[in-house]
């Protein structure tokens, strides 16, 4: 495999962009009470959750389709257990995004919504951090071949 085909390099920009969206939403969701009128805050949170959901779902699909999972499974079978764990986390992330979307469109408590968003953001950050470590291990192992 040439370095240009290294999935780690190809996914790095996507991970960076996704993390920027996560950081922005975290700041909004954790903003002190009173910074925005409640209905403005709710609207902003819903629209940012919608944008993140679209980007995240597209990102997960790319990773599963031709991003890295098949490549690593073929070229680094010693990482297959970890790859399977990351794949399962994708389903958990999709389920949480669906639940968040349903919650946002209701007239529920804004603080419950904010907490659910922050929990979701932690899940995304944890997943991406584990994934980056996995991809780094793969890249490092290829560099030493």
Q: Which residues here bind Fe ion, judged by CB under 5 A?
A: 63, 131
Residue 92 to residue 49: CA distance in whole angstroms: 16
CB of 15 to Fe ion, least distance (A): 5
Between 92 and 115, name the residue whose CB sits nearer to Fe ion.
92
CB of 95 to Fe ion, least distance (A): 14
Between 42 and 73, name the residue whose CB sits nearer to Fe ion.
73
CB of 86 to Fe ion, least distance (A): 5
Three-state secondary structure call for residue 107:
coil
Which residues in 100-130 are b (16+ Cβ under 10 Å) and which e?
A: beebbeeeeeeeebbebbeebbeebeebbee
Between 48 and 63, name the residue whose CB sits nearer to Fe ion.
63
Three-state secondary structure call for residue 140:
helix
CB of 93 to Fe ion, least distance (A): 8
Between 48 and 128, name the residue whose CB sits nearer to Fe ion.
128
Long-range contacts of 115-118 (CB under 8 A, 24+ apart): 117/25, 117/29, 117/45, 117/49, 118/26, 118/29, 118/30
Q: Which residue has the tokens 């794949």?
A: 87
């Amino acid at each position: 495999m040439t370095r240009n085909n290294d999935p780690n390099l190809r996914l790095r920009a996507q991970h960076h962009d996704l993390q920027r969206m996560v950081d922005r939403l975290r700041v909004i969701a954790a903003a002190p009470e009173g910074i925005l009128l409640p209905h403005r805050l709710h609207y902003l949170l819903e629209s940012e959750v919608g944008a993140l959901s679209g980007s995240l779902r597209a990102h997960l699909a790319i990773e599963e389709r031709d991003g890295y999972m098949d490549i690593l499974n073929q070229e680094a079978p010693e990482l297959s257990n970890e790859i399977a764990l990351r794949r399962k986390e994708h389903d958990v992330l999709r389920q949480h995004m669906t639940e968040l979307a349903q919650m946002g469109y209701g007239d529920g408590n804004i603080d419950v919504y904010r907490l659910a968003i922050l929990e979701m953001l932690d899940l995304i950050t944890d997943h991406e951090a584990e994934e980056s470590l996995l991809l780094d291990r793969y890249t490092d192992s290829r560099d030493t071949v």
